[in-house]
Structure 1
Amino acid sequence: MAVKYKIYQSKRNDRFKGRWYARAVHEGTVTTDDLADIMQDNCTVKRSDILAVISELVEVMRTQLQNSMRVKLDRFGTFKLGISTTSAEKAKDFTPGANIKGIHVLFQPELKIDAKGNRIQSFIYGAKVQEALPYDIEKEPETEENV
């Protein structure tokens, strides 16, 4: 189990043009139904019950978020709503219709503290990376000079 990546060369017109970076590769999408099937195999709860709970969770979270509440799912993370705005010269000139441009969801994954005191997001704790192969980048063979 590893997070796969491919390397790419920056084409941006800045001082990093031509530099090489890694980009995560996603090999597919796992749906709610897929998760329910996996979860059913891992515990005593039936797939239909899992789907019902997830469906209700989404509805309750929507209601709570729209009531200006944060929603914390233990061992998962915290959700809250944020707003995008433009400025007004004076406080009296600020109006929601003119200055609030949109609402968006913010998510903060739960953090773990490792043995060294570093904060690590729970979802990436213990993650490994592995180059996704094959793809069309020619790399120099590793030698002592270029390692």
Structure 2
Amino acid sequence: MQAVNTGTIDLDTLSKNISDECTIHSVDVKAVLMALGNKLDFYLSDGKIVDLGDVGKFKMAFSGVAETTPEALSVKRNIKKYHINYQPSVKMKRKLKAGITTYKEGSRS
């Protein structure tokens, strides 16, 4: 089995949906989300862990190749790929542990 996504929510849709639940206009929500993306980039590149409360934490990571001695390590030669690690918040972990309603592909029963 594998998880199958049911579509993609873009920035405009997300901004509109958030706006519908508060008093902030969707354009302002979109501006904040875009700024969040810029700040994530800035702080992650600076080596910070970004903690978004109930959303979870993000941190920069990489995969690389080992060497026999520390002196033989080189950023260009040994780091192969950068990625971002996501750690769900305690609230999100509890939700995942409790289980999520799942469906067989092609049905909703």
Q: What is the TM-score normalised by the length of structure 1? A: 0.65
Aligned to 1:41: 20
Gaps of 5+ in 2: none
For 1:104 and 1:47, the matched residues in 2 are separated by: 30
For 2:4 and 2:81, the matched residues in 1 are separated by: 30
| Shift of residue 26, structure 1, vs aligned partner | 2.0
| Shift of residue 25, structure 1, vs aligned partner | 2.7
For 2:23 and 2:37, the matched residues in 1 are separated by: 22
| Shift of residue 24, structure 1, vs aligned partner | 2.5
For 1:86 and 1:45, the matched residues in 2 are separated by: 48
Aligned to 2:35: 56
* Greater helix content: 2
Computed over aligned residues only, the root mean square deviation of the Cα atoms, in angstroms, reads: 1.8
Query: Is 1:129 paired with 2:102?
Result: yes
Gaps of 5+ in 1: 1-21, 113-119, 135-147
Matches within 5 A, 1:55-134: 55-112=34-91, 121=93, 124=96, 127-133=100-106
- The answer to which of 89-98 and 49-58 deviates more is 89-98
Q: 1:88 to 1:131 in 2, by over 3 A?
A: same
The structure with higher relative contact order (CA 8 Å, sep 6+) is 1
| Shift of residue 105, structure 1, vs aligned partner | 0.6
Find the structure with the greater CA-based Rg.
1
* Greater strand content: 1
Q: What is the TM-score normalised by the length of structure 2? A: 0.85
For 2:27 and 2:44, the matched residues in 1 are separated by: 26
| Shift of residue 132, structure 1, vs aligned partner | 3.4
Count, aligned residues: 106
| Shift of residue 133, structure 1, vs aligned partner | 3.0
Identity %: 26
